[in-house]
Structure 1
Amino acid sequence: MPRFALWMAVAAIGVASVASAAPVDDARLATARQDAGDWLTYGHDYSNQRFSALTQINRDTVARLVPRWIYQTGAKASFQATPVVVDGVIYLSMPFDHVAAIDAVSGRELWRYTHVRRTKTMCCGPANRGVAVAYGKVFIATVDARLVALDAATGKPVWDVALATDGGPTEAASDLDEGNAMRAQAATGTTGVGANMAPLVVDGKVIVGITGVGYGLHLEAETAGAPVGAVVGFAGSYGRPGFYAAFDARTGRRVWQFDTVPATGWEGQFRPTTPDGVPLPRNIAREQAALARFPDAAKHGGGSAWTTPAYDADTRTLFVGIGNPSPQMDDSSRPGDNLYTMSLAALDLDSGKLKWYYQQVPHDLWGYDVASPPVLFDLPTADGPVAAVGQASKVGWFYAHDRNTGQLLFKSEAFVPQENLFAPPSAEGTRVTPGAVGGANWSPVAYDPASGLAYVAASHIPIRYTVKDIQGKDGTPLRYTELKPIDEPNWGTLTAIATREGGKIRWQRKTDKPLVGGVLATAGGLVFMGDGDGYLNAYDADTGAPLWRFQCGAGVNAPPVSFEVNGVQYVAVAAGGNSLFGFKGGGALVVFALPPTRQ
């Protein structure tokens, strides 16, 4: 058969497979880990391991990997989405929350939903990290703080509800006193709420959280097209508490809500160290004395929800990450530990009640959100396997906990340089690495259940933290804390962490640019990771040796996935860049496979 005719025949088979798509129900979601052909949820399955058992693309064949088709979204903006793949259909979220259903074999668009924002301001940029698919619906959480259910067959809205009762983004930087005071420095940003994370569907509930509550403003870079120049956090009553919530998948009704800042007791124990014993630069006596002057601090407490949860069906437990307290970096109006910000937390699926939490950084001054999604795995011990949950942190360690108790099992070797870690901001400026945009940011890790290796993408970006004062609109002194990347070399690290060896580093690859996007591991002995220079790369999973790369034309700053249709394994990744890091923009989904066999 001629090559063109063969490709057309393959495409026709793909379209036929779309028509016979089966619904995604609770049983199918619960067994997604055994479904190598599909990619049913953000993390592949409830464990968030991002591991594909497919082997057609492997160490021996990956050199022949080529693009099969490219879907152009038409949206040139930061593109962070994980495609969800069900029975030969790719469900793709795009910047600004548009969604498309695409035939996975031919690349033909089946339907497209265009999201119309209810507010033009956005708290956290245009990126969306993915959809959830279940019960004949596609669920997306939006930058204007909505949760929308679409018909999976047509893309038409079924229901649309507000995530936060007080609406979405509320104030632009130019509307605020500090925005006016800094107008010459081009202050941008908003305070309010939105959502970027991919929802998770479990037992009829759609789990999602809000972002934008850890108040801070961005200052534009001096050079056009460069990354954001700085982020500032102002002392005062800005922001609101964040939350994770469960919504009824059938109706959109809110079932429960877990506030990431408690109404009482958010001051905690005034810990002088992190839970694992690292000293913190705190004047606890001064904080305790100030507590009475800020009785309503928790009402503005922050704690954004950046991460799609992992889920343990045996204990009906969700594992979530919580972001920075508000005001961001500046602590003068928020004495105490600022619970439950900067924590990995375990929640009961049915009620949303807190089971345990581990606060990686009490009373944060640096922006060390728990941003990378938790991953579940079993840890062999002399007394038998321990059910564990791991999280790759911004501070540069991979933490592993007993997921039933929260007990810290180990903290890995540092996967990025750590210098002046937990040193306080100062008037002269304090150099810290990793800073708020370094370490393991929102990028999800991958985990190989056979080897026990966790693969972490991270960044080395030194940051200077400076305490400053300006005059407010009424002439009163106004304090703020600024973080600003330092003009010195930065880079990325892709690290294999041996969870069965107490977190030792098995291998590490240094990359020219910071790594942000996410990792895919496969049973073919491969690890896939994109980079800001536009390459999708494949590495040997055991050694880290580079085996293959392809130039996608824009920064590959989204997590790859793998799936199979009609006996053909594919790898798919979004290529759209990231404006925060200055990576080249685009708007494509690139889908790869081995060349068709000649007949």
Structure 2
Amino acid sequence: MARRITRGLLAASSLALWGFGPCAAQDWPMFGGDHTNRHFSALSAIDAGNVARLRPAWIFQTGITGYFQAEPVMVDGTLYVSTTQNHVAALDARTGAVRWTYTHKARTEKIFGPPSNRGVAVSDGLVFEATMDGRVIALDTKTGRVVWDHEAVRPEEGESETASALADKLGVGTVQGSSRLGFKMPPLVADGLVIVGVAGAGYGLHVEDEKGGLDGGAVVGIEGGYGRRGWLAAYDAKTGAERWRWYVTKADGWEGEFVDKTPDGVPLHRDIAAERAAAPAHRDAWKVGGGSLWMTPAYDPDLGLIYVGTGNPAPQNFGLSRPGDNLYTMSLVALDVKTGQLRWYYQQVPHDEWGYDVASPPFLLDQATPQGPVKAVAQASKTGWLYVHDRANGQLLTRSAPLIEHKNLYAPPTAAGTVVSPGPLGAISWHPVAYDPTAATAYAQVRHGATTYRVKTVPASGDRPAIRYTETGEAKGEPSFSTLTAIDLGGGGAIKWSVKAGSRLSGGTLATAGGLVFSGEEDGHLDAHDAKTGAVLWRFQCGAGIGGPPISYALDGRQYVAVAAGGASFTKGSGFGTGDALVVFTLSE
């Protein structure tokens, strides 16, 4: 990796276009900027009046093309970034010069879904990374030397039948990934612990469409025991020893109360009688019950709590073989940081059959209420709302106005096909939402579109019984577009403004004290919007789809904005290319 990256590095001296601004040095030391996960920068040297002068300061090419979703971090003048294959580079944050590289040697090629890694954590002289092949590693910040390497998932753990073998049986075409556990999220470092959760538990085949991409293809959920038990674990930051592990699926009573509405009162259209009748035959469904963990928790050190969203139950999109509410999948949960014990949960979608993972990283805020401000945690959802809860007890304080137009929400899949909006890509998927505490406003990339959920059957053949599954696909004739949407959390969750994008939005948002919101598009543009109106004030073509969240940092009185441009899974075959560039901007003179 070191040779490939160094060879791809553009000459920093020829790209350095320094700007000047009254900003003190400021790091971006962890995912989200700090433990609140707000993706907000207090820097204001780059503002609405001068953002038109933003130019590349330097560009770093990793040599690893595609699925570049990592959020870089910057500490003490060094910027750290991970690549698709879990390689890591330490770069001079002023010039892009390579300080060291780490080349990851995976133990297995069998991973869940497209190869992607969403970033590292840096603390106390160590760089922490959780890898696709199930390891948690610590590197020395000065040299890149491996300090410890913990095998959190054995190479074979989670494997049942490869995705390709099942695809052959179902006749559904080319698929990506296999049925095993691994990591995608950037770790959280808190209270001397490195905290990370597995993906790949809520099993589903991701089928390529005719263009070779994933977005228009199917997510197939198969009846039966396909899936794994999701978990979040904490490792000693100094040694890598596991300190606690919390399993998403509840061993006793995961069926819950068989509720017929979501906690916020939306009907679920469940056949409760059929589920109760099926329950005795599926008492052990929790053992393979899913609940992947996609993104980094937020952390409140005063309460000693971490907050994390959990994914869909398994089997994905097929509910009769997992009767009940499937606790604690599809939930925002609060866990004790020292022990991993559950303090409270809010299940957004009991008995999910639509792929509405609680995936976007939660963020902390002070929520205005008639009784005064309340320490709160917010969660942007695939279902098309933003929820705000009391951090201490999980009480729902407010739910935003709808961010999309719903259609047949929570209608069950049928043999004829049920069109539902939003689909499994959600209104808001894993992409981070930026929150400006000075304006009490959240800025979200919102996907608008519908999906057809269709139950299908492969007839029995020989000794093999019939296979039932739910297939999803893009609903033809339904609108499909993205908006950047501002949500007023100081005004009850009203929509301040919503601006339609020219192509699909991806990667997440960054808000700054300069009155700007940065947002990336799949066509390669990084856009700077006026935070008050949504107007686009500046655009730059990065050469490949923006797949990761932008960040901002300051050194020597200069403010920088950095973003990964490598494309994403849905850009394949879309006409937009993939790439390998970390692009860093500052103001021109």
TM (norm. structure 2) is 0.93
Shift of 1:585: 0.7
Q: Secondary structure at the match of 2:219?
A: strand
- Give distance in 2, aligned partners of 1:138 and 1:100: 10
Residues 159 and 251, structure 1, Cα contact 8 Å, conserved in 2: yes
- What corresponds to 2:565 in structure 1? 575
Q: Secondary structure at the match of 1:500?
A: coil
Question: Residue 279 in 1 paired to residue 267 in 2?
Answer: yes
Find 2:519's aligned residue among 529, 539, 548: 529
Per-residue Cα deviation, 1:418-474 (whole angstroms, up to 9, x for no partner): 111111111111111111013000000011111100111121131110000003563
- What corresponds to 2:278 in structure 1? 290
Residues 133 and 153, structure 2, Cα contact 8 Å, conserved in 1: no
Find 1:501's aligned residue among 475, 491, 498: 491
- Give distance in 2, aligned partners of 1:426 and 1:514: 29
- What corresponds to 1:418 in structure 2? 406
- Give distance in 2, aligned partners of 1:226 and 1:195: 20
- Count of paired positions: 569
Shift of 1:262: 1.2
Supply the AA of the counterpart residue of 1:499: L
Per-residue Cα deviation, 1:287-312 (whole angstroms, up to 9, x for no partner): 11211101210000000010100001
Per-residue Cα deviation, 1:268-301 (whole angstroms, up to 9, x for no partner): 1101000011001111111112111012100000
Question: Residue 591 in 1 paired to residue 579 in 2?
Answer: no
Question: Residue 462 in 1 paired to residue 453 in 2?
Answer: no
- What corresponds to 1:320 in structure 2? 308
- What corresponds to 1:63 in structure 2? 52
- Give distance in 1, aligned partners of 2:171 and 2:277: 35
Find 1:38's aligned residue among 9, 27, 43: 27
Find 2:199's aligned residue among 175, 199, 211: 211
Residues 559 and 573, structure 1, Cα contact 8 Å, conserved in 2: yes
- Give distance in 1, aligned partners of 2:499 and 2:354: 26
Q: CA separation of 1:294/1:271 partners in 2, compared to 1, >3 Å: closer, same or farther? A: same
Residues 36 and 52, structure 1, Cα contact 8 Å, conserved in 2: no
**Higher relative contact order structure (alpha carbons within 8 Å, sequence separation ≥ 6):** 2
Shift of 1:149: 0.8
Q: CA separation of 1:592/1:169 partners in 2, compared to 1, >3 Å: closer, same or farther? A: farther
Question: Residue 491 in 1 paired to residue 481 in 2?
Answer: yes
- What corresponds to 1:547 in structure 2? 537
Residues 334 and 342, structure 2, Cα contact 8 Å, conserved in 1: yes
- Give distance in 2, aligned partners of 1:293 and 1:486: 34
Shift of 1:8: 5.5
- Give distance in 2, aligned partners of 1:501 and 1:212: 38
Find 1:88's aligned residue among 71, 77, 83: 77
- Give distance in 1, aligned partners of 2:158 and 2:267: 36
- What corresponds to 2:149 in structure 1? 160
Deviates more, 1:507-516 or 1:519-528: 507-516
Find 2:103's aligned residue among 96, 114, 118: 114
Residues 348 and 355, structure 1, Cα contact 8 Å, conserved in 2: yes
Q: CA separation of 1:167/1:228 partners in 2, compared to 1, >3 Å: closer, same or farther? A: farther
Per-residue Cα deviation, 1:149-204 (whole angstroms, up to 9, x for no partner): 1111111211111223574552553564x333134623443111011000010121
- What corresponds to 1:306 in structure 2? 294
* Percent of residue pairs identical: 52
Q: Secondary structure at the match of 2:490?
A: helix
Q: CA separation of 1:92/1:282 partners in 2, compared to 1, >3 Å: closer, same or farther? A: same
Find 2:94's aligned residue among 105, 109, 134: 105
Question: Residue 148 in 1 paired to residue 137 in 2?
Answer: yes
Per-residue Cα deviation, 1:527-561 (whole angstroms, up to 9, x for no partner): 00010111000001111111000000000121000
- What corresponds to 1:395 in structure 2? 383
Per-residue Cα deviation, 1:32-63 (whole angstroms, up to 9, x for no partner): xx997110110100000111011110011101
Residues 578 and 584, structure 1, Cα contact 8 Å, conserved in 2: no
- Give distance in 1, aligned partners of 2:24 and 2:234: 26
Unaligned runs of 5+ in 1: 1-6, 14-33
- What corresponds to 1:21 in structure 2? none
Supply the AA of the counterpart residue of 1:563: Y
Residues 526 and 542, structure 2, Cα contact 8 Å, conserved in 1: yes
Residues 460 and 491, structure 1, Cα contact 8 Å, conserved in 2: yes
After superposition, the CA RMSD in angstroms is 2.0
Residues 274 and 361, structure 1, Cα contact 8 Å, conserved in 2: yes
Supply the AA of the counterpart residue of 1:588: A
Unaligned runs of 5+ in 2: 1-11
Q: CA separation of 1:129/1:280 partners in 2, compared to 1, >3 Å: closer, same or farther? A: same
Supply the AA of the counterpart residue of 2:39: R
- Give distance in 2, aligned partners of 1:112 and 1:195: 20
Q: Secondary structure at the match of 1:517?
A: strand
Supply the AA of the counterpart residue of 2:297: P
Per-residue Cα deviation, 1:379-422 (whole angstroms, up to 9, x for no partner): 12332210110011000100001111111111111112211111
